[in-house]
Amino acid sequence: MHNRIRPYAWGSRTTIAELLGEPSPSAHPQAELWVGAHPADSSTVVGPDGERALVDVVADDPEAALGGRVRKHLGDRLPFLLKVLAAAEPLSLQAHPSADQAARGFAAEEDAGIPRSSPNRNYKDSSHKPELVYALTEFRALCGFRDPAHTVEILQELGSPRLEHYLGLLSGQPDAGGIRAFFSVGITLPSSALDPLLSDVLACCVDRVREGSRFADEYRTTLELGERYPGDPGVLASLLMNHVTLRPGQALSLPAGNLHAYLSGAAIEIMANSDNVLRGGLTPKHVDVPELMRVLDFAPVAVPLQDGEPGDVPDEVVFATPFPEFRLSRLDLGDEPRTLHHDGPQVLLVFEGELRVERVPDGADAAGGGEALTVPRGRSVWVAAADGPIRVSGPATVFRARDGLSD
């Protein structure tokens, strides 16, 4: 496979370049490496007929590419999208729609005649976009709204006189309704009110960090965002959210409606095959606060981090989600071949080492006999449903993306 790089301004100049064995630092930021068949940036695959876009390969023969089970339950397109994400700076404050919200939003923008390539378009497709992020390095994020009682503690200790005026919205209703009220006021304040409020909040953050407050980490994050995005209401929103740090090897699942912002680090992301993002701040890109408010889930959430569980074969760790579109696992392969059975589509991305992969023809035993391919670090291989079982060996660390339906 040949995969496309998205050069967003927040991207790292080293992570993806080094993974691909290219000059580092790169000339431009490299934010995301897309591995999949999204129409906006499809990978290409090399086959007997030359190099073709994977989205076209799937469309031309969905039965061979996806298999009957995936087609029956998930339709005639690749259900997942895999990415390598490399954040040198914070990403936007965002959420993703549910399936129903995406279908309605896409139809409305189609009816309105907004070009799909327009930077002011919210819905690039009609799919929802739940996702899972797996940390390759220490990975920092804001994820979901924290327990409002705890947020009230943090804001009271901050001691911002200007913020005190709004604090009653949350302290008087410490639940999803209070979170909605506080967030909606903060995210829609005019600059004449927002600018002095943020100045006061950031000054208090400096004081509390200097004093060694028990909430110093939360205040430091707000200061970081305030420096990067001055005058942005997303800076204030960060005080309402769970602050999460994933260790390498941990994963986090994000459902529809979950407000989040990735702050720094490198990760593998897998998601439903969609590019629908509703943004509320911390970005120069299109922001649509009313539409974001319509899709947000304001219920406070815990943030359960996953360490994975044993997979189908030895050396495999699976990161489970409730989403049928995708499943991610990590394979730590040695020289001993492992046979992977799956009747749907798969993508294998090599993170370390060199992968040897071969088809297992009918009647072949574990000793060999299939068509072999060697895949170096940073490269990936497409495995169609019709390819049948495959045999893999290393030494290599490989990420395996497939549908999340039960086999």
> Is 279 annotated as catalytic?
yes
Q: How many helices (H) and strands (E) does the chain have?
A: 12, 22
Query: Any known ligand binding at 28?
Result: no
- Amino acid 392 reads V
For residue 286, say whether it is annotated as part of any ligand binding site.
Answer: no
Using CA atoms, how far residue 262 sits from 107, 242, 267, in Å, is 29, 12, 10
Question: DSSP letter string over 236-285?
Answer: HHGGGEEEEEEPTT-EEEE-TT--EEEEEEEEEEEEES----EEEESSSS
The reply, when asked if residue 250 is annotated as ligand binding, is: no
**What is the Cα–Cα distance from 37 to 380, expressed in whole angstroms?**
13
Write down the catalytic residue from 121, 279, 338, 391.
Answer: 279
Note every long-range contact of 207-213, with CB atoms under 8 Å and residues 24 or more positions apart, other chains counting.
207/159, 208/157, 208/158, 208/159, 213/157
Q: How many CB atoms lie within 10 A of CB 364?
A: 15
Q: How does DSSP assign 50-72, residue by residue?
A: EEEEHHHHHHH-HHHHH-HHHHH
Residues of each annotated binding site for Zn(2+): 94, 96, 131, 260
Residue ranges for the binding site? Answer: 94, 96, 131, 260
The set of catalytic residues is 279
